[in-house]
Amino acid sequence: MAVDLTTGGNGTSLDVSRKMERSSGDELGMGQVVSTRKAVTTPKKHMFTPQLQYRVARFGKGKYRMLSQDLLKKCYSAKASYLFQQDKFYDVSYDTGDKSIQCSRRPDAFKFWMTWKALGTLGLEERVNRALALSRYLVEEIKKREGFKLLLEPEYANICFWYIPPSLREMEEGPEFWAKLNLVAPTIKERMMKKGSLMLGYQPHRGKVNFFRQVVISPQVSREDMDFLLDEIDLLGRDM
């Protein structure tokens, strides 16, 4: 089934009901879905093509193709710099999450509710306590290790920090220092991705140059994982 909300090749508007009749509407188990004979005269922008893999029961998957390349971005994009950095080593036009309504708190609220129902209040409390304990451990490790510097004392599970490579550790913290430090996190992130070892976010914020931002939320991580995170950053950045 395909509904094309555009004009036809000869410039005339398309009659949706005729197009639907030509499609395999019986696969829906609902007979004729669209019965209107009114032609679509508003032109424009999109085509919806659900692929029906099960009769009656459900949609298996669907495709939504926008004929206007920037409409979804105009509707949904918040340009969240902490999620969609623009200085990555690849074409950032492939980061399509900013065009999605799912990149928001609406589905997050549902996910939280489902997690709460699955784990119960005590189970959720245990996860939160574990995450905060691991966050405190990571903060203490950052403070102990040479070359790591907290951006500020964290209040929860979001830890922001810089890695200062050996070549910058004796440099005065002036414009040149901060300009060079700004390149450190993106470069290490690129090396992580090419190596396949980690995915760690970074961002600048309010005059602060690029820093790493580790959010400890997974119930599966351990202190060993926190150690590996810092070890890997140092391994990939010590030659900068």
Same domain, 117 and 193: yes
Same domain, 129 and 157: yes
- Residue 109 banded pLDDT, cuts 50, 70, 90: confident
Same domain, 95 and 147: no
Same domain, 116 and 224: yes
Residue ranges making up the domain that contains 99: 69-105
As for how many domains the chain has, the answer is 2
Same domain, 73 and 153: no
Angstrom distances, CA of residue 162 to CA of 49, 159, 196, 199, 210: 46, 10, 21, 16, 8
Instruction: Give me the CATH number covering residue 181.
Output: 3.90.1150.170
Domain end position, chosen among 47, 79, 105: 105
Decide if 211 contacts 151 (C-beta within 8 A): yes
**Main-chain dihedrals φ then ψ at residue 99, nearest 5 degrees:** -95, 0
With 0-12 CB in 10 A as exposed, 13-18 as middle and 19+ as buried, what is 193?
middle
Query: Is residue 3 a part of any domain in this protein?
Result: no
In this predicted model, what pLDDT tens digit does every residue of 161-172 receive, in sequence order?
999 999 999 999
Same domain, 193 and 230: yes
| Long-range contacts of the stretch 234-239 (C-beta < 8 A, 24+) | 234/145, 234/147, 234/163, 236/188, 236/191, 236/192, 236/195, 236/197, 237/163, 237/165, 237/184, 237/187, 237/188, 237/191, 238/147, 238/165, 238/166, 239/165
Strands 208-215 vs 3-4: parallel, antiparallel or unpaired: unpaired
Query: Is residue 231 a part of any domain in this protein?
Result: yes
Same domain, 80 and 144: no
In this predicted model, what pLDDT tens digit does every residue of 118-159 receive, in sequence order?
999 999 999 999 999 999 999 999 999 999 999 999 988 999
Decide if 84 contacts 97 (C-beta within 8 A): yes
Same domain, 140 and 223: yes
Q: What is the pLDDT of residue 68?
A: 58
Query: Is residue 53 a part of any domain in this protein?
Result: no
Domain end position, chosen among 81, 105, 129: 105
